[in-house]
Structure 1
Amino acid sequence: MAAPVYPPKPSPGDRVAVVSPASGLPGLFPRPFDLGLARLREEFGLEPVEYPSTRTMNATPRQRADDLHAAFADPDVKAVFASIGGDDQITVLPFLDRELIRAHAKPFFGYSDNTNLLAYLYNTGIVGYHGGSVMVQLGRPVAMDARTVDSLRAALFTPGPYELRPVDRWSDVESDWADPRTFTRAPETRPGTGWSWLNADRVVEGRSWGGCLEILAWLLMADREIAADPSVYDGGVLFLETSEGLPSATEVFQVLRCMGERGLLRRFPALLMGRAKTWSFERPNGPQASAQYAADQRAAVESALKTYAPDTMAVFDVDLGHTNPQLVVPYGGLVRVDGPARRIVVTY
């Protein structure tokens, strides 16, 4: 399989599609969605275009696929944004027209359940972008995080290298989108912890692959968008993160064990492990429980690596997933992980 190629980038003033290939939550929570649309216009100079199921809860997989086809096929639309994630985008994949999307390649931005579509684009030969949902990153109360803005702007408009750096402050605690007061207060943040490195004695440069670990597990179970020959991933950079579902350390290990048994883990000489999201409305962990959850998850990842990929270089607590700020990672794009220099440089 040939390496994915970067689609042309938009320019300020261009139209961009906003779709809901995972969940129609904009229909339930219009405040963060409309705020995100306004920021696309005001912060990035782009004109968002909605599609029939963008604000529709329980749209069928066919309807969501039709919106994606319309967005990619429209010559006046220069990029595609997911409104948010969800939990059933895997059902959309069988309805997608791979040749149509390949013929009209565009940058796609999304994460979480959108790992499905990012993996699909990877196998279609198109670099996607893991990050930047309209409701979460763009719709953040009061203001977008400056680090998120900088990364997203670079990914949108600037081809070439971009250095990811540890963040000074971060957060993973959310407020109720149904409460108008949520949008009058900036989210509370806590001090950053920096990155932590394992086997950092080499430089690895390769194409990235991965995404949300829970979604990758579903793709593995359904045998969709996972290469039958794992050697296609040789030399790549694996990146993983976990969601507000807060999978247990045991569950994280079990998914990685299955990836190891399938021969996947050892293909990647470098792993970027996203900072663990440790809080959810169902499990509002305090500081001590949050720290323990993150430590247990790291131990699970290290245990799986020790068994299946003992020489893999790993970087922990990279801000690339469900925590805020969020750094955009090109999916299928070039990533350079420099262990001795403790640097990560992606190519947008």
Structure 2
Amino acid sequence: MTVIDYPPKPSPGDRIAVISPSTALPGVLPLPYELGLRRLRTDFGLEPVEYPATRKMGSTPQERAGDIHAAFADPEIKAIMASIGGEDQLTVLPLLDRELIRANPKPFFGMSDNTNLLAFLYNTGIVGFHGAGVMAELGRPGAMHPQTEESLRAALFTPGEFELRPAERWRDVSRDWADPATFDAEPETRPGTGWDWVNPDRAVEGRGWGGCLEIVAWMLAADREVSHDLSVYEGGVLLLETSEELPSGTEVFRTLRNMGERGLLQKFPALLMGRPKTWSFERPHTPEEAARYAAEQREAVVRAMRAYAPDTMIVFDVDFGHTDPQLVLPYGGTIRVDGPARRITVTY
């Protein structure tokens, strides 16, 4: 079994690599990206360092793998953050030098398509951090969501435990990043709804694994970075969330069913299910349509878990996915889910 260690943390004044392992959206949508870079400097005291493919739309998998290697190998770089996600990081994984990365462990922050790299780090023995990319979270109009900022600051700089809290206010409706007016004010948010617990009869403490459900499905299909030795997941906390592509309840159920048939679901005594994004530019749901979509997803999750892992404790609507705020979770690190106390504590 691979032993997974926390990499050393940066300090204010250190250099942080900013890379685009998936899509180089900074090259076409610079406004949230430049805002995110400014906040890294002014709010977090870190000096961002860009790489050749960070703003290069259409970069090859080889170019992106080269940036990843350079960022990990450079002793002056103390942490690494993705600009944003995408949809083809799967093609980068076979090009990565596992020994180089293992010899130079650093905190990596990303989510969505960066589930690929997080799973790679898990299998390499390095704790990664699910959440907080440059464009969507640091580049949020008006100001970072205070719960995102608090979580990211703790994950970046402070070893030890951090207790997650349900979102006080949240949103999943986006605005046009190409329009400068988008950045004149903070986005509208809605009151928080709290977490919803299923089987909260015990406390579970284990290593986090999972990520964006659609990307996990792709990794399973391509046989990439999902271990055939399922014992490496035994007793862990499964982290799943869905993207702005808004997969149907049927698709969510089928993906979970495939995971159950493989024996994966049964290894995790706890599941944190991210609050689903229910709105996109392609599908601008009304509030009623959004509520129906969220309910259908929940029903799909419950149905699959009842079939394959009926005793698993589930917490719905945890804010770590494609919605705002975005709490940072240690991927491969320790997560404690305390059902009777209704508390979630992570170790950064």
| TM-score bracket relative to the smaller structure | over 0.9
- How far is 1:209 from its partner? 0.3
Q: Deviations over 1:124-175 (max 9, x none)?
A: 0000000010000000001101100000000000000000010111001011
SS of 2:278 mapped into structure 1: coil
- Is the contact made by 1:112 and 1:215 (CA closer than 8 Å) also made in structure 2? yes
1:70 maps to what in 2? Answer: 70
Amino acid at match of 2:150: D
- Is the contact made by 2:275 and 2:316 (CA closer than 8 Å) also made in structure 1? yes
| 2:185 maps to 1:185 | yes
1:156 maps to what in 2? Answer: 156
Mapping 1:140-219, distance limit 5 Å: 140-219=140-219
SS of 2:214 mapped into structure 1: helix
SS of 1:315 mapped into structure 2: strand
- How far is 1:208 from its partner? 0.6
1:249 maps to what in 2? Answer: 249
Give aligned-pair identity as a percent.
71
Structure-1 separation of matches of 2:94 and 2:2? 22
1:83 maps to what in 2? Answer: 83
Structure-2 separation of matches of 1:78 and 1:229? 32
| 2:292 maps to 1:259 | no
1:21 maps to what in 2? Answer: 21
Structure-1 separation of matches of 2:119 and 2:261? 20
1:223 maps to what in 2? Answer: 223
SS of 1:197 mapped into structure 2: strand
- Is the contact made by 1:3 and 1:332 (CA closer than 8 Å) also made in structure 2? no
- Is the contact made by 1:109 and 1:133 (CA closer than 8 Å) also made in structure 2? yes
| 2:320 maps to 1:338 | no
- How far is 1:231 from its partner? 1.7
- Is the contact made by 2:62 and 2:92 (CA closer than 8 Å) also made in structure 1? yes
Moved more, 56-65 or 183-192: 183-192
Structure-2 separation of matches of 1:334 and 1:274? 18
Mapping 1:89-104, distance limit 5 Å: 89-104=89-104
- Is the contact made by 1:172 and 1:277 (CA closer than 8 Å) also made in structure 2? yes
- Is the contact made by 1:110 and 1:130 (CA closer than 8 Å) also made in structure 2? yes
- How far is 1:319 from its partner? 0.2
SS of 1:232 mapped into structure 2: helix
- How far is 1:229 from its partner? 1.5
Structure-2 separation of matches of 1:8 and 1:231? 27
Structure-1 separation of matches of 2:189 and 2:104? 40
Amino acid at match of 1:35: L
- How far is 1:15 from its partner? 0.3
- How far is 1:230 from its partner? 1.1
Structure-1 separation of matches of 2:162 and 2:286? 34
Q: CA RMSD in A?
A: 0.5
Q: Deviations over 1:251-293 (max 9, x none)?
A: 0000000000000001000000000000000000111011111
- How far is 1:311 from its partner? 0.4
- How far is 1:4 from its partner? 1.1
- How far is 1:227 from its partner? 0.6
Structure-1 separation of matches of 2:57 and 2:103? 29
Structure-2 separation of matches of 1:251 and 1:230? 23
Q: Deviations over 1:221-265 (max 9, x none)?
A: 000101111121110000100000000000000000000000000
SS of 1:186 mapped into structure 2: coil
SS of 1:147 mapped into structure 2: helix
- Is the contact made by 2:2 and 2:123 (CA closer than 8 Å) also made in structure 1? no
Runs of 4+ in 1 over 3 A off after TM superposition: none
- Is the contact made by 1:129 and 1:331 (CA closer than 8 Å) also made in structure 2? yes
2:43 maps to what in 1? Answer: 43
- Is the contact made by 2:21 and 2:89 (CA closer than 8 Å) also made in structure 1? yes
What is the TM-score when the length of structure 2 is the normalising length? 1.00
- Is the contact made by 2:142 and 2:183 (CA closer than 8 Å) also made in structure 1? yes
- Tell me, which stretches of 5 or more residues in structure 1 are unaligned? none
Structure-1 separation of matches of 2:345 and 2:178? 38
- Is the contact made by 2:25 and 2:55 (CA closer than 8 Å) also made in structure 1? yes
| 2:293 maps to 1:273 | no
- How far is 1:186 from its partner? 1.0
SS of 2:193 mapped into structure 1: coil
Structure-1 separation of matches of 2:336 and 2:293? 29
